[in-house]
Each structure stands twice: as C-alpha cells, then as structure tokens.
C-alpha cells in the first residue's frame, strides 16, 4: 500500500542525460571518443577561479550564513540590485520549487509553453498545482496570442524560458513585456539559464519596470559549475521574502558560496565558453543542413539545438539508440519533453571533435 503523497506515486522521475562511462562500457567505445551532448554542460569544465576558491574553502566544520549573504551581495553588485532582491538555491531547480509553493495554492494553475523544461510541470504536479500547456506552432514557434489568452482565472505563475528549451529560440523583449503586463498580479518567471549564449544582456533590466517579475539564472552552464548546484533569482523583496521562509535553512554550503563568488569574476572563462559555443553552433548547424533526413529547428541561440527527424521511417528513440551505438549521447525528445512527440532530439553544442562525431554519426545513420 502506498502511504505517501498520492500526487507522487504515479509520476515519472526526471530523466537526465546518460553518462559517458555508461555508453563507453555498454557499447565498447573508448571513453575519450564518446561525445556527451545530452546535458548542456560546459565543454571547458568549471571556472578556474571557482575551482581554486572551492578548494580554498574546505572548512567543513563551520555553518555557512543561512542566506548566503556574501554570495547574494556579490550577485547584487554584479547586476545592480540591492542584496535583499536576491535569493540563492541549489541550482535553479530548487528555486523553482519554492516559487511553485509560495505563489500558487493547491489547485491553482501554472502556465508554460510546451515543450518545456520538465521541472516546471513536474514540480507543479507534485505539489498539486495544475500545469496549463500552451502548444507551439507547426514549426515549434511561439504562439503568443494563445499564451496571452491563457492568462485567466486561477493561473498564478507564468514561466518563460529565454532562450527556450528545447527549441533554443530567443524570446523578443517586447513579448516578455507583453506577458508581464498581461499577467497583472500574477508572477512571471523569466528563466535565463542559457542567456549567455545569446550574446545579449538578457532581461535583468525589466525588473525595474515589472514588480511581478523574477529572473532566474544558473552557474551550471557558462560558468561550468553544474556539479556544485548553484543558481539564483532576482526580484522585488516582497517576492523574495516568502521563498526565504520556505527554503531549507542552510541550503547553500561554504563551497557553493565560495565557488559562486569567484565564478562571477571569471569573465575570461565565460567569454571563452560563449565564443566557442557560438562558433561551433554555426559550424554544426551548417553541416547538418546538408543532411536531407534531418533538419535544425529555427535559428538556435542556446548551447544546444533541436534536431527534427524528416525521414518518416525513423523516430527519435530509434535515432537516439543508433547514436549511442556510435558514441554520441543526446536527449530523446519523446522521453524528455511533454508534447514534443517522436520526431525530435535535443543536442548540445560542444567542441569541434564532438560536433564532427555527431555529424559523422548522423550521416552514417542516414546512409544505413
């Protein structure tokens, strides 16, 4: 008999990308030849400054400040806000869970485009909040009239991911403003996990105009600290305060705080990462446009892109498995994203060696 929360018993868990070690062992491929393109990790590894700071902070017997004050102050200075506008979490995902609990009651609705980052709807469902899905167009383009029309009744939270996952499409600023204005007393969550790779400044400045907006960012991508688990949100203090009451008292350890502070000063690492990803994004999308059994969706602006399978004889799971046999790890859209169907793969942009292996593997599948 299941004695826990009935909302949890029938739900699927999050499906992360496979590891290089698993694929190497399963398919007998040298580890160094496996291209891991399913987790959007930084191909250059962690920020060197953060790496050094974490090693220097190994004083494990002392409690950290429960609000991560020094990190919040650093973030506040970096982006031009007072520290009371900042909250830190173990990745964006922890902050998303507080947002769901703090700003929507059980039975309230949470709005998002689909396909979407799975944590949005998974967290909502687990907390007995109801996801409201707005489908994208036939070319997986945003349907703004549908999204705005869905802002009604007990919709309490609206998610926007910029650039969007999994399509990597960039949302124009005027659309974000339109949503904030239409939302009125509802909370708009602007998730900018991948914003560095757009080579724009993102939407932080919109916080000055919209008190119902929170902007989320992560240290997992451009800073290369996915294993440290570190993210933050910036919003008006009356949005931040309820989440402080929800968060675990010491959710941020000394190593996270030290690593985050140092990473924010490591512009060299961030710029190196972004420049390489932007160059390889153009390189690989141009190569893939020559394959008639596959196509790249739109004009990707993230450190990943969405690949459409044009050949009706293939589906995403088949191609996913065939890529694994050739030492390439991607995300099967039918497993990872609600309402994406069986014709799409989300694939990371990485270094040239990995991009060349991807192109070779897809070409080999096309010719088989």
Give the pLDDT score at 8.
59
Provide the token pair at 103.
């700003």
Digit-coded pLDDT (tens) for 97-139: 999 999 999 999 999 999 999 999 999 999 999 999 999 999 9
Tell whether 225 and 117 lie within a shared domain.
yes
Tell whether 228 and 165 lie within a shared domain.
yes
Tell whether 39 and 57 lie within a shared domain.
no
Give the pLDDT score at 368.
79
Give the pLDDT score at 1.
44
Give the pLDDT score at 4.
60
Tell whether 297 and 200 lie within a shared domain.
no
Tell whether 249 and 361 lie within a shared domain.
no
Tell whether 40 and 96 lie within a shared domain.
no
Digit-coded pLDDT (tens) for 320-351: 999 999 999 999 999 989 999 999 999 999 99
Instruction: Decide if 254 is inside a domain.
Output: yes
Tell whether 94 and 141 lie within a shared domain.
yes
Cis preceding-peptide flag for 14 (omega within 30 of 0): no
C-alpha–C-alpha distance, residues 193 and 210, integer Å: 20
C-alpha–C-alpha distance, residues 303 and 355, integer Å: 12
Domain containing 272 — which CATH number?
3.90.1150.10
Q: Name the average pLDDT for the chain.
A: 94
State how far Cα 91 lies from the chain centre: 10
Instruction: Decide if 132 is inside a domain.
Output: yes
Query: Which of 223, 241, 266 corresponds to the end of one domain?
Result: 266
* Residue 52: band (very low, low, confident or very high) from pLDDT cuts 50, 70, 90: very high
Tell whether 231 and 351 lie within a shared domain.
no
Matching residue, tokens 């008006």: 236
Domain containing 232 — which CATH number?
3.40.640.10
Digit-coded pLDDT (tens) for 304-318: 999 999 999 999 999
Provide the token pair at 78.
């970096």
Instruction: Decide if 11 is inside a domain.
Output: yes
* Residue 16: band (very low, low, confident or very high) from pLDDT cuts 50, 70, 90: confident
Tell whether 10 and 117 lie within a shared domain.
no
Give the pLDDT score at 177.
98
Digit-coded pLDDT (tens) for 67-83: 999 999 999 999 999 99
Which helix H or strand E contains 256, and what residues bound it? Answer: helix 254-263
The size of the chain, in residues, is 368
Task: Find the mean pLDDT for residues 352-363.
Answer: 98
Instruction: Decide if 164 is inside a domain.
Output: yes
Instruction: Decide if 1 is inside a domain.
Output: no
Query: Which of 248, 266, 284 corresponds to the end of one domain?
Result: 266
Domain count, the chain: 2
The bridge status of strand 109-114 relative to strand 86-89 is unpaired
Domain assignment of residue 23, given as a range = 6-45+268-367
Task: Find the mean pLDDT for residues 257-269.
Answer: 97
Tell whether 294 and 363 lie within a shared domain.
yes
Query: Which of 266, 299, 330 corresponds to the end of one domain?
Result: 266
- Hey, is 74 helix, strand or coil? helix
Tell whether 88 and 199 lie within a shared domain.
yes
Tell whether 91 and 196 lie within a shared domain.
yes
């Amino acid at each position: 008999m299941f004695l826990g929360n009935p909302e949890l018993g029938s739900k699927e868990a999050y499906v992360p990308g496979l590891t290089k070690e698993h694929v190497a062992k399963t398919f007998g491929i040298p580890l160094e030849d496996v291209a891991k393109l399913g987790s959007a990790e930084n191909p250059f590894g962690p920020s060197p400054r953060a790496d050094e700071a974490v090693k220097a902070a190994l004083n494990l017997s002392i409690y950290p400040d429960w609000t991560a004050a020094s990190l919040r102050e650093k973030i506040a200075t970096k982006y031009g806000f007072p520290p009371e506008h900042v909250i830190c979490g173990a990745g964006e995902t922890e902050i998303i869970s507080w947002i769901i609990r703090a700003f929507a009651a059980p039975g309230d609705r949470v709005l998002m485009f689909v396909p979407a980052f799975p944590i949005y709807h998974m967290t909502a469902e687990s907390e007995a909040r109801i996801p409201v899905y707005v489908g994208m167009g036939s070319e997986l383009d945003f349907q703004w009239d549908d999204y705005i029309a869905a802002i009604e009744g007990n919709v309490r939270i609206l998610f926007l991911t910029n650039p969007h996952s999994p399509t990597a499409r960039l949302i124009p600023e005027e659309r974000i403003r339109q949503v904030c204005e239409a939302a009125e007393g509802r909370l708009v969550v602007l998730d900018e996990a991948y914003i560095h790779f757009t080579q724009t400044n993102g939407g932080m400045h919109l916080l000055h105009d919209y008190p119902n907006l929170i902007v989320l960012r992560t240290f997992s991508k451009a800073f290369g600290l996915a294993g440290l688990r570190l993210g933050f949100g910036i919003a008006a203090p009356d949005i931040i305060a309820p989440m402080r009451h929800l968060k675990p008292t010491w959710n941020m350890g000394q190593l996270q705080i030290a690593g985050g502070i140092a990473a924010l000063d490591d512009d060299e690492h961030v710029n190196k990462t972004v420049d390489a990803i932007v160059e390889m994004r153009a390189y690989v999308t141009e190569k893939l446009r020559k394959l008639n059994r596959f196509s790249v969706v739109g004009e990707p602006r993230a450190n990943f892109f969405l690949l459409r399978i044009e050949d009706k004889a293939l589906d995403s799971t088949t191609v996913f498995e065939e890529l694994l046999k050739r030492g390439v790890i991607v995300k099967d859209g039918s497993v990872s994203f609600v309402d994406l169907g069986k014709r799409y793969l989300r694939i990371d942009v990485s270094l040239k060696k990995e991009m060349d292996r991807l192109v070779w593997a897809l070409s080999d599948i096309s010719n088989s």
